Structure 1
């Protein structure tokens, strides 16, 4: 005889199209986890939104190790947002390393709504248009799908705004006067030599204050549980409904998701030098170095700092304490020659300035 209630649902079929929302999740999380504003895609839905719902945008990534050559310690894991920022900004063609310079702006990045306005307008037009098309067709699954996509984008931006505020709070710790104290705290005082190695053998080298070091090794606060819950509901509704809506709604949804995701992954619409609202980190010179030796020379290491890096195997040990004496002897001969030459040029420059 069967069960009439179950038979009523017999024609209903679930489509597997929702699985496409899982594609590109890691790349999306890496791109938006760098905490950078995008004037095009900030309010557009993206693929892989389940990572947003799980608040895995700034979780630490393994393989990023920080070496403080001036103070003689290392940190095996750096903050998740900074490791993702490095992925976006390191010179991929130069395995030796890239040198960066930290600076701070006295006026917060995009203060007000100048940059947010285009992103909000694009989001309203794209998401609103998708909802309108579905409603005009009488496609209520399409309306639910488009609404869930819009909610997911709003939740993602709310989470990112919270993390950016958290990062800015770390930057402004104990700062009462932004115009005088903040530049000194970030750029003044004693600058320590830092080397950060990545899982693919690349490296970032720079000198920064200890305040900066604390910022890039401190994890940001997690998102509020309510935001995560709403994000998960939106993701589930999207996964189920996109497979049930009309063909036109499906095509437009996939086109919007795909376009926004590609623009986000390739950092279109982003000033990649910014980190949060106050910090700006720029590559120096022509970018990366082909040899790690050349990258480390950019730091003008003291003998003590070079000794610390030797202990952490970021520089070869001296030839008398290892078996491969020929290789290390050649390295240190070249290293000492380059170091002496740089010090000689610096001395000559100082002498010319004093004479003038």
Structure 2
């Protein structure tokens, strides 16, 4: 007896190869690197792995493993914009020494040449499989190549709308160049603490919340089209001829690798360190844009801010002229970072409430004593974040001569006297006459 649908068993007008499953790889990395919204002059329009990440809008899902502490306002949140957490995750920050200064530029930067270069490169790389499949009669390969083009166009449109949403939020708030920045720190999932200065008006609408993309219907339509193209790509890749399969796999894997190494991106630079004329190990500052108006400058606390212990009860600033700091001697302690931040009493109280500063237990005030001594050394310098940033960008060390002179002249002496069961701590500062130091601050 023959089954009614026995013919279905032998129906094989085509075959589906498991090679299409390779398009599911690399989802986590693509999610992070695409979602940070930083533009690349090479890989902007290249096809990547894990196209469903874009089609499903997963790169806009917030990561709540990051914590932002607005020290100036005394506000804490772990609900941050998806692009911001992904951008932080892609940067190679130091444990405590990295600084990011966010600012709004008055004239939007139009990346016409970079966009044209990326489009030309993509046209060549995606045009070849189109010509190959048409001339060879590989129509499944042609469907695969067309699906790649559609996915790239859909991704470019969705990323463009997200960048434009950030620009629109900035224009709506219109913060001036002289707007006051809030002193903040961001704690990453791997316990790095990054100092950031962010315009106060932008913290909530740009950095804490996902900017609202418009038009919403167009964005949703791009998602549906991307889903359809991804489905065609998965099926057609396994049915294409071998030459098309090899080229497609090499193209999408190679492009994804270049993306995840930040090839052609402003926010990924040569991080190799060099030594300046005084022997200090330094790293070049760099800037990048998110959208066309939001600019980030990444640099580090200078080496002459490092503390050196003269004795168990004595601390001094290292300076840079006579005591060059080796890389393995650079501080990674949060105490030193809090001292560099020059916290006010209200700001210190906020850090205590957030459990970022140790609480006193059993009359032990050794941590607080050391911290106050280091803090007093920094206050003698009256540091300027703008000057530190300018020096880092221009690789200058000579402009810090007055600051270094004062750093070498200042020394904190910690005297601990026992009085019964309670330790009384006194901090003294000895300073030789020195010239004035700029008191400019952000």
Q: Given the two structures, how large is their TM-score scaled by the length of structure 1?
A: 0.87
Shift of 1:39: 1.0
Distance across 2 between alignment mates of 1:307 and 1:47: 47
- 1:37 is aligned to 2:39: yes
Describe how 1:324-343 pairs up with structure 2 within 5 A.
326=364, 329-343=365-379
**What are the within-5 Å matches in structure 2 for residues 86-125 of structure 1?**
86-91=88-93, 94-96=94-96, 98-109=98-109, 111=110, 113-125=112-124
Equivalent of 2:232 in 220, 229, 237: 237
Residue 341 of structure 1: how far off its partner (Å): 1.0
Q: CA deviation at 1:208?
A: 2.6
- Secondary structure of the 1:331 match is helix
Taking the aligned partners of 1:128 and 1:49, their CA distance within structure 2 comes to: 19
- What is the SS of the residue equivalent to 1:316? coil
Equivalenced residue count is 336
Counterpart pick for 1:74 among 62, 73, 76: 76
Q: Please tell me whether Structure 1 or Structure 2 has the larger radius of gyration of its CA atoms.
A: 2
1:96 shift after superposition: 2.7
Say what the alpha-carbon RMSD is for the aligned residues.
2.3
- Tell me the SS of whatever aligns to 1:114: helix
Q: Which residue of 1 aligns with 2:176?
A: 182
Q: Which has the higher helix share?
A: 1
The CA distance in 1 between the partners of 2:340 and 2:145, in whole Å, is 51
1:68-217 equivalences under 5 Å are: 68-91=70-93, 94-96=94-96, 98-109=98-109, 111=110, 113-175=112-174, 182-184=176-178, 188-189=179-180, 191-214=181-204, 215-217=206-208
User: Per residue, is there more strand in 1 or in 2?
Assistant: 2
Distance of aligned partners of 1:98 and 1:112 in 2 relative to their CA distance in 1, 3 Å threshold: closer
Cα–Cα, structure 1 residues 194 and 289, in superposed 2: closer, same or farther, change >3 Å? farther
Deviations 1:155-182 (A, max 9, x none): 111000000000111111243xxxxx63
The aligned counterpart of 2:337 is 295
CA distance in 1, matches of 2:339, 2:293: 29
> Gaps (5+ residues) in structure 2?
268-287, 303-329, 384-401, 404-433
| Partner SS state of residue 194, structure 2 | strand
Confirm or deny: 8 A CA contact 1:206 1:299 kept in the other structure: no
- Once residues 219 and 58 of structure 1 are traced to their aligned partners in structure 2, the CA distance between those partners, rounded to angstroms, is 7
Structure 2 residue 292 is the aligned partner of structure 1 residue 277: yes
Q: Are 2:23 and 1:21 aligned? A: yes
1:11 Cα offset (Å): 5.7
Moved over 4 A (4+): 1-5, 286-289, 347-351
Deviations 1:259-313 (CA, angstroms, capped at 9, x unpaired): 1101101111111122221111122236896222233333221111011011101
| Deviation readout 1:227-283 (Å, 9 max, x if unpaired) | 110010010000011000000000000010011101101111111122221111122
Q: After TM superposition, give the deviation of residue 346 of structure 1 in Å.
A: 2.6
Matched-pair contact (CA < 8 Å) for 1:99–1:204: yes
Long gaps (5+) in structure 1: 176-180
Residue matched to 2:436: 352
Paired residues for 1:242-257 under 5 Å: 242-257=237-252
Q: Distance in 2 between matches of 1:263 and 1:281?
A: 22
d(CA) in 2 for partners of 1:33, 1:262: 16
Change (3 A) 1:353 1:262: closer
- Measure the CA separation in 2 of the matches of 1:139 and 1:62: 46
Q: Which has the higher contact order (CA 8 A, sep 6+)?
A: 1
User: Contact 2:37/2:159 (CA < 8 Å) preserved in 1?
Assistant: yes
Q: Does 1:314 align with 2:356?
A: yes
Q: Is the contact made by 2:103 and 2:199 (CA closer than 8 Å) also made in structure 1?
A: no
Q: Tell me how far 1:7 sits from its aligned partner.
A: 5.7
